[in-house]
Every structure is written in structure tokens, then in C-alpha cells.
Amino acid sequence: MKIALVGYKKQEKFTQGVANDEDTDLFNFLKGKGLNVIPVIWNDENVDWTGFNVAVIKSPWDYHNHLSEFLNWLNQLEQLNVKVLNPVEIIQWNSHKKYLKDIAQNGLPVIAAEYMDKGSDFDDHFFDLFGTDQLVVKPCVSAGAQNTIIVTKNNLKERTEEIGQLLKTEDYMVQPFVEEIKNGEWSFLFFNGKYSHCSLKTPKQDDFRVQHYHGGSISYPAPDTLHIEQAGAYLKSLPQPTLYARVDGVLINNTFTLMELELIEPYLFLNGNMDLLENYYQALMALIS
């Protein structure tokens, strides 16, 4: 069985054809288990996909900038009878943030959101709608806080002009700013639906972005079993099992509340830990055996 470990083409040269140290660790671990794993770039025209049995979607971190091409490529893999993990249907659903609306309709806690279609107008009615003085506006297809904007009543005029320009090209969503993000964003990792581990990403002072490249910090506290159970509930309504899932959210009144359900290319915080890599391997084998 030939397995593609799928990444993306970085601007700078990278080692062994994989996108980051986590991918290198995973690649080496799976090879050490005797699997025939090949690191590949999803949009490399020189790759012969007919030679693969399985495509593990690991780190195509530029997919959101090439969404149509990316989804077409996934459909082509299906037509070639390549088993895609995570499944194509789930990736398609997860690629546009309106999936959060579906989850909320299932009765699970999700940060409130409204959606603006491309070409629509942003105005101040969202303050009253959410009962807040601070809004977060972000693209419906994005990663890494790209084009995420904080809007207050003080900067409304200039932000409205900026958002108006962005709405000319893509859909956006509007949410109330959640103060609890200052306490950190929890990420619960599940492999084949089974809990593996978690991380806590905390923004730097006077910021809301938890990503490390925006100054955020990462820790690995022991989570409450209640919150693990609450995070796992978001996976139970999925139509198919997933090799990996990262459930990101905040604690509001001791209840886990979803911000993002990451099912396409999340960083997994494996950190070279053999136990966590083994969790991933066991999930992979269960889905391809």
C-alpha cells in the first residue's frame, strides 16, 4: 500500500519534501512502522496520483488561497479510487465556515455568527444584534487569522471601508468578540474519534490572536475530563470517521464552546511525542486496514 503524506509548496526550500518538523516526525515514524509513505505536494503537476492507494491530507496550508483548485484535486483523487483522509465530503463541508451554522443547529455550543455573502454590505447593526461593543470579522475561507479584523464603534468608519473592499472578493463572517479568548483557546486532538491530547494557545497581552507567529504562547495543561467529553461531542454528528480532528474553542462558564472544527490541515501538536505519534498511527491503520 502506497500512502501520500500531503503537504504544500513553500516558498523556501524545505527538507525531505515535507512542510514542517511535525510532518518530518510523522513521516519518519510511519516509515519506521514499515508503511510505504511518500511526502508529496498537493498541486505538484509531476505527481502520478494513480500510484497511490491512500492520500493523507496533512499540511496543504495554502489550500484556502486556491480553494477551487484544491477541491477539484480532491474530487480527482476520489475518481481515481484513492482513499482520502480526511474524507473529501467532510473536507468540502469544513472548507467554508458556514459549517459552524450546521453545528449550532445541532444544538451544540458555538460562538454566535452571522454570514455576509460576497458583494454584500457591512454596517453597524451587528453591534446591536450581538449586544456587544466589539466585533470580529473574518473570511469564511481562511487560515491563521488571515484578514481577521476587530471592529469597534470607534474605528467603525475606517473598518467599514476596509471590509467593504474585502467583501468584493469573498464571503465573510461576523462574530462578537469573546473576552474568554484572553484566557486562551483550547485545542482538543482526536484520532479516529478517540481523544489523544490537547494544547492551550494564549494570546500575548493586548492581542486576541493565539497563533505563535502573532506572539501567542502554547502550553499543555491537563484538561478537565468534562471538557474532553464536551469537545468530543462535535465529532459525533459527522457522517464519516475522521483520521484527525482538532476541536478549537474557549471555556465560557465552564462549558467548552466551539470556535473552529479543524478537519482539513490542522497542526496537531505531536511535538515528537512517541505516544501521540502512536495514537495517530493506530487511527490510520484502523481506517486503511
Instruction: Give the tens place of pLDDT for each residue, 169-190.
Output: 999 999 999 999 888 999 999 9
CA distance 287 to 289: 6
Query: Among 90-104, 132-146, 175-189, 219-233, which stretch is predicted with the lowest mean pLDDT?
Result: 132-146
SS3 breakdown of the chain: % helix, strand, coil, rounded to 5?
Answer: 35, 25, 40
Could you tell me the three cell numbers for 97?
465556515
Could you report the per-residue pLDDT of 13-45, keeping only the tens digit for each?
Answer: 444 444 568 999 999 999 999 999 999 999 999
Mean pLDDT score, 64-78:
96
State whether residue 35 is helix, strand or coil: coil
- Name the residue among 67, 59, 73 with its Cα closest to residue 17: 59
Mean pLDDT score, 91-119:
96
Q: Between β-strands 114-116 and 172-176, what pairing exists: parallel, antiparallel or unpaired?
A: antiparallel
Domain at 99-109+180-269: CATH architecture: 2-Layer Sandwich (3.30)
Q: What is the pTM of this model?
A: 0.91
CATH of 114-177, one of 1.10.490, 3.30.450, 3.30.1490, 3.30.70: 3.30.1490
User: Is a pLDDT exceeding 80 seen at residue 196?
Assistant: yes
CATH class of 2-85: alpha beta
Where do the domains of the chain lie? 2-85, 99-109+180-269, 114-177
Query: Among 73-77, 140-144, 186-190, which stretch is predicted with the lowest mean pLDDT?
Result: 140-144
Give the rounded distance of the alpha carbon of 149 from its chain centre. 19
Could you report the per-residue pLDDT of 107-137, keeping only the tens digit for each?
Answer: 999 999 999 999 999 999 999 999 999 999 9
Q: How far is CA 157 from CA 150, 178, 230, 272, in A?
A: 12, 22, 39, 47
User: Is a pLDDT exceeding 80 seen at residue 200?
Assistant: yes
State whether residue 122 is helix, strand or coil: coil
